[in-house]
Amino acid sequence: MITREQIPAVLDHPVYDTDGNKIGEAKHVFLDDATGQPEWVSVKTGLFGTSESFVPIQDATMVEDHLEIPFAKDKIKDAPNVDVDSGGHLSEDEEHRLYEHYGIDWDTAWTQANQPGTGGWARTGDTGDSGMHSREGMDASGDAMTRSEEQLHVGTERQEVGRARLRKYVVTEEVQKTVPVSHEEVRIEREPITDANRDAAMSGPEITEAEHWVTLHEERPVVETEAVPVERVRLTTEEQTDEETVTGEVRKEKIEADTPDDDMRNR
């Protein structure tokens, strides 16, 4: 159980659940109005501590530099949102909601708190105020008050906005190329009989019939293809930085003093 003397060690320190998961940081401790003992602790949770959850502190323990709460992280984050009035008190209805969320019986809790020697705390209709709990805003000495205010912390989170891919497919194109081709043609050459060729010309019969064949050739285009690498393509990303303006609401506490001198001046 956390005592009032341990409150300075609790405030602004990490809070862990039963499995050792960090939940957030303790921001306020709420005291029982009758006994003055710690009853609830508010824990800043969520991204940048944007929400505050109430947790029973009766069975919590301080371990080194952090507070351990006997409830699971999800249970604490799902606790109902409650409001604190200008006097730093929880209403009875809101405390009922918190007890119900954490599975604590209201009558049993009241009975345990009112055991002999505990000092007890009042129900609605008893003498005193509502019997709920006031926020601890003083230091351990009880003669000073701490003023707190919320600060807006803005950060960024990375999220997926789209995907790009490389896809290779085959297309067929018609390509025209001009190549030179050659062919043979027949040409008749006649030469007169001279002394130089007379012997060759007169070597056969004088009068006869004969045939002589000449084979003609020509070139034709031949097409074949070959796959060759021509380039490499890859996807890369580059980071562009823009500026966005974020607006949020923050709360802060104000402290006013009511002194005897003010009452005398108002008479």
Counting every residue, how long is the chain? Answer: 267
CA–CA distance, 6 with 3 (Å, rounded to integer): 5
Q: What is the pLDDT along the chain (267 residues), one digit of tens a residue?
A: 788 888 888 888 899 988 888 988 888 888 877 777 888 888 887 655 457 888 888 888 888 889 998 888 888 888 888 777 656 677 778 888 888 888 887 666 655 555 554 444 433 333 333 334 444 444 444 456 777 787 777 777 778 888 888 999 999 999 999 999 999 999 998 889 888 888 887 777 777 888 889 999 999 999 999 999 999 999 888 888 888 888 888 888 888 887 776 656 665
CA–CA distance, 78 with 88 (Å, rounded to integer): 22
CA–CA distance, 229 with 221 (Å, rounded to integer): 25
Model-wide pTM > 0.85 = no
Domain boundaries, the chain: 4-139
Class of domain 4-139 (CATH, top level): alpha beta
CA–CA distance, 29 with 11 (Å, rounded to integer): 7
Greatest Cα-to-Cα distance within the chain, rounded to the nearest angstrom? 167
Tokens representing residue 167 in the block: 């896809």
Q: Which residue shows structure tokens 């980071």?
A: 239
Tokens representing residue 78 in the block: 């799902």
